[in-house]
A and B are shown apart, each in its own frame.
Chain A
């Protein structure tokens, strides 16, 4: 089946640093999404991207939908301790009554104050 390769698997950074993570696939997706999961909580949607080449920001977060439709990137600027958590990318293909939403394995972010 379809798979998403998310990297890096984990990151340890200093507060104030910028963070970059990405997600790639051998398949084309119609929509890319980024979710964040705080420890002990469910994932929360951060950004949704609907068009190839689209660049969208949400505060200190910026995400891009790759031109090839096979990848997406998430950047976090000036990280703070509350950015700690697991970041999941998800790719969606239309079709069927619920689409086909595939999740990556996540990037675990740790921020050192």
Chain B
């Protein structure tokens, strides 16, 4: 009963490096999301997808890219990592998208950029 799986759980990057955070869900959900959580702050939406081949920007998309080639996978790519991207990243999915707000979250990926 995996739900939403994120890898890696922890990663340290040097400034300017690139990496991809992986997200997979096994619930056949069409809607998937990437959020970032900074200490003492709520969750901010980075990118979302309403189905395979369709992605769109959220509130804080700068410095990130996404793709959605399958229903199951929604990777988040960081290009030219900066200290401001130090955060905990959460992937989420939903069966009913924007109409309900009912999201299933992964366990998070903690990224530190030094």
Contact = CB atoms under 8 A, between A and B. Distances in A.
Interface stretch (B12-20, B36-44, B63-71, B75-83): B36-44
A104 B105 contact: no
Contacts of B104: 45
Interface in A16-44: 31, 33, 40-44
A96 B101 CA distance: 13
Given A4-B42, A42-B4, A105-B41, A99 B99 contact: yes
B26 interface: no
Contacts of B41: 105
B98 A103 contact: no
A9 B42 CA distance: 12
Given A92-B101, A97-B98, A98-B98, A103 B43 contact: yes
A12 interface: no
B108 A94 contact: no
B100 A44 contact: no
A99 B90 contact: no
A98 B108 contact: no
A1 B98 contact: no
Given A41-B108, A44-B105, A48-B100, 15 more contacts: A33-B102, A40-B108, A41-B107, A42-B107, A43-B103, A43-B105, A45-B102, A95-B98, A98-B56, A98-B97, A98-B98, A99-B97, A99-B98, A101-B45, A103-B42
8 contacts: A41-B107, A43-B103, A94-B98, A97-B56, A97-B97, A98-B48, A99-B97, A101-B98
